[in-house]
Amino acid sequence: MSAIDDLFADLRKTGRKAFMPFVTAGDPDLRFTADLIRRLVERGSSMCEVGIPYSDPIADGPVIQASYSRALDREIKLAEILRMLRGVTPELSAPVVTMLSYAIVYRRGPEAYVREAKAAGLAGLIVPDLPVEEAAPLAEACRREDLSLIQLITPTTPHDRALRIAERTTGFIYYVSVTGITGERTELPRELVANVAQLRRETALPICIGFGISRPEHVRLLAPVADGLIVGSAIVRRVAEAGTKPREQVLTEIGEYVSSLLAAMEP
């Protein structure tokens, strides 16, 4: 049982859903990232997803792309990010996962990266550009360290392939709500609820929905069918304002925004 398995077991006992904010490591700097993670958990986030900046976007929209560019322009290093997380995770009541390109894992070596992630207090990895056909070495390394390997299913994933992904996934399935890139949207696809309901009939894994979620009405629509919701671009956009506002003000504003979404998750 990983920390993520324990989290969803506890949530199910009380009928609650997971709220998972996404933040970019090192934007505007790692001290702010650490403070933001703390604030998000204090506000009631169930889990935090930390993006490891990478130069080649995978499915990232312009807001997250820009945050990665800002962090990379400051020459942020993976070792520095893991060191920051190692200092923060012991303080938290919520697990932390990283989203990163498989190129970063490959350069380190799957076993070496997983050991470093475990030492940093991480509970899982999201590797969106890792094909399920090539996931076995990383999945085995994660299994040995009780880390979850979270994989993505999209609206265009063929049915048989979605089932293979679900079989290889641990922790939870990351269900991409829209066809395309990350980013805030005014409306979500009408078929989204039905798609997730269909997937739920075919897997016992928790299903968390991400991409495009930014408003309380999105949360109210999706919370009944999902086990968790992931919010990224709307938070990263607010972080971008840290350069023009006092940092405590930005942290407070993001905390209030997250609280509004958490309130919408209440039954």
Residues known to be catalytic:
49, 60
Residue 202's Cβ-count burial label (10 Å; 0-12, 13-18, 19+) is exposed
> How far apart (Å, rounded) are the C-alpha atoms in residues 173 and 152?
6
Residue 160's Cβ-count burial label (10 Å; 0-12, 13-18, 19+) is exposed
- To the nearest 10 degrees (0 to 180), the angle between helices 110-119 and 136-144 is 30
Q: What single-letter DSSP state applies at residue 211?
A: S
Residue 51's Cβ-count burial label (10 Å; 0-12, 13-18, 19+) is buried
Q: What is the DSSP string of 152-204?
A: EE-TTS-HHHHHHHHHH--S-EEEE-SSS-----S---TTHHHHHHHHHTT--
Q: Cis peptide leading into 267, omega within 30 of 0? A: no
Residue identified by tokens 């935090």 is 48
Q: What token pair was written down for 180?
A: 């395309």
Q: What token pair was written down for 38?
A: 């703390």
**Residues 18, 46: contact at Cβ < 8 Å?**
yes
Neighbours of 243 (CB within 10 A): 11
